[in-house]
Amino acid sequence: MTKRNRKRAALKRLRRQAVEFDFDGGTLTSDAGLLLLREVDQRLGLIRRVDACIADPRDPIYTAHPQAEILTSRIFGIAAGYEDGNDHAHLRHDAAFQVAAGRTPAQNDYDSDEHFPLASPSTHSRFENRVDRKAMLAIHEEIVNTFLDSYEKPPEEITLDYDATDDPTHGNQDKNYFNGFYDGHCFLPLYVFCGYQLLVAYLRPSSFGAAHHARAVTKLLVQKIRSRWPETKIILRGDGGYSDERLMRWCDKNDVYYVFGLPKNNVLIRNIACEMTRARLEHLKFKSTRTLFKWFRYRTQETWDRHRWVLGKAEHGDKGANPRFVVTNLPSAQGIVEPTYHRPRVDGKQVRQILDPGTICSVAWNPKDFYRERYCQRCEMENRIKEQQMCLFADRTSCTDFMANQFRLILSSLAYVLVDGIRRLALQGTTHARMRVDTIRLRLFKIAARVRVTCRRVIFHLPTHCPSASLFNEVMARLCRSD
């Protein structure tokens, strides 16, 4: 019978020429830049080590898709912008994903047992739902190992930023609770970053506070870091949700420093009453926001076991008073003098007086500089969380089982570690060193290519007039050079 061509949409003509389209271009890919991500993973060995953390109960005789292959296709899919496992119904045939997973792409009209596609969405779903808590802990340990391996020698000091964010739930999910602060049903994952590098992405129910399990996570992190870097100074930084007595007491006993926000109360506000009055008067005089700072010692009546240093920020602007407080154990190591005593003579008698416990010697932290350099820098971590959720779909936790959702968060985190590997290994020291994840994806990953497969080669023909050609070549040269 005569093959009948289905009528396609008629495009506007280009002067005397007809403009047509079809889907017969052969083996093409729109994600040729995943070759860069493949080189990063080859250098870090991340997916190989994560694969070793997950037990595989399947019979090898009947196993068509190794775990490492499933992990690679899923993590690379997230990095390339495909948030859902259902996308792999088509991505399993993509040449770039097959090369990344260690398979040779099939040639046009070529079919054999050697060139079958990657894992289907149902295989990915079964894999996500069988990963247990023990594997999650081992994977987190490998993420921390990746962070430790990124340094040639132990640093003198590192700052670990703690923060939590809302992860909206979908339907009747395990451990789904309403959170009044975020005004909705959600999870409350805990993130720990050091600069741009991710160390922890721990999913938690939202029925607890921000500091829930933070002490246990800190204990494991510090133990792991000090096993490799025993002399490194460790500083924890977070907002007011982490000024938990149990966490701070553990840090005080284990030589770990902290800089945490402190929720305000009447006693704290009274300690900076003079500064608040002065800031209000200066605001009335200069018609601009005025800010003053003060060190003082503070202890709660029941919960805290000791006095701690608190930095008070007295601010007054057009919207009124805005006092803020930060609790820390750092200034005592930087020169703030502990309360001292002297006995002056009054009317011929010695009277015991206490000097201001906020007295600062010449080498102490200036309170304004401390607030801006030590505390305010934690806001940069919020940009990293945005990259996780908005660019790498960390909030795509729609499974019924809680541990499956934790594993989805881990998959997003592993994608972040690999993309950040490009930023750290190939873009550091260039004008592109601070590119966001979505910008890296747009300029380096989403590049079309024609794939030609021969007996000895798999060749990716990228566009001749690719706008990111020079950047792509520079990144590839840095990743492929021998160390």
Backbone angles phi, psi at 284, to 5 degrees: -65, -30
Residue range 282-332, pLDDT digits in tens: 999 999 999 999 999 999 988 899 999 999 999 999 999 999 999 999 865
* Whole-number Å distance between alpha carbons of 114 and 255: 57
Q: Which residues, other chains included, contact 219 with Cβ-Cβ below 8 Å and sequence gap of 6+?
A: 250
Q: Which two tokens stand for residue 177?
A: 């609770």
- Cα angle 258-262-267, degrees, rounded to a multiple of 5: 130
What whole-number percentage of the chain has pLDDT above 90? 77
pLDDT class for 21, splitting at 50, 70, 90? Answer: confident
Q: Which stretch of 5-19, 263-277, 338-352, 461-475 has the lowest confidence by average pLDDT?
A: 338-352
* Confidence (pLDDT) at 334: 53
Q: Which stretch of 51-60, 197-206, 353-362 has the lowest confidence by average pLDDT?
A: 353-362
Q: Which two tokens stand for residue 77?
A: 């899919």
Strands 341-342 and 324-328: unpaired
* Whole-number Å distance between alpha carbons of 310 and 293: 10
Average pLDDT (199-215) is 94
Residue range 120-175, pLDDT digits in tens: 999 999 999 999 999 999 999 999 999 999 999 999 999 999 999 999 998 889 99
pLDDT at position 239 over 80: yes
* Whole-number Å distance between alpha carbons of 224 and 52: 19
| CA–centroid distance for 124 within its chain | 24
Strand partners, 316: 290, 321
* Confidence (pLDDT) at 2: 53
pLDDT at position 5 over 60: no
Average pLDDT (454-467) is 91
Average pLDDT (349-367) is 49
Q: Which residues, other chains included, contact 307 with Cβ-Cβ below 8 Å and sequence gap of 6+?
A: 297, 298, 299
Mean pLDDT, the chain, rounded, equals: 88
Identify which of 273, 253, 355 has the alpha carbon closest to the alpha carbon of residue 321.
273
pLDDT at position 354 over 70: no
Distances in whole angstroms, Cα of residue 453 to Cα of each of 26, 42, 348: 11, 22, 101
Q: Which two tokens stand for residue 436?
A: 């966001």
Strands 320-321 and 308-317: antiparallel
Identify which of 231, 225, 235 has the alpha carbon closest to the alpha carbon of residue 256.
235
* Whole-number Å distance between alpha carbons of 383 and 212: 22
Backbone angles phi, psi at 304, to 5 degrees: -80, 145
* Confidence (pLDDT) at 18: 87
Contact at 8 Å (CB) between 191 and 164? yes
Residue range 77-93, pLDDT digits in tens: 999 999 989 999 999 99
pTM of the entire predicted model: 0.89
pLDDT at position 364 over 70: no
* Confidence (pLDDT) at 7: 64
Identify the structural domains of the chain with CATH numbers, from first to last. 28-132+403-469 (no CATH), 150-388 (3.90.350)
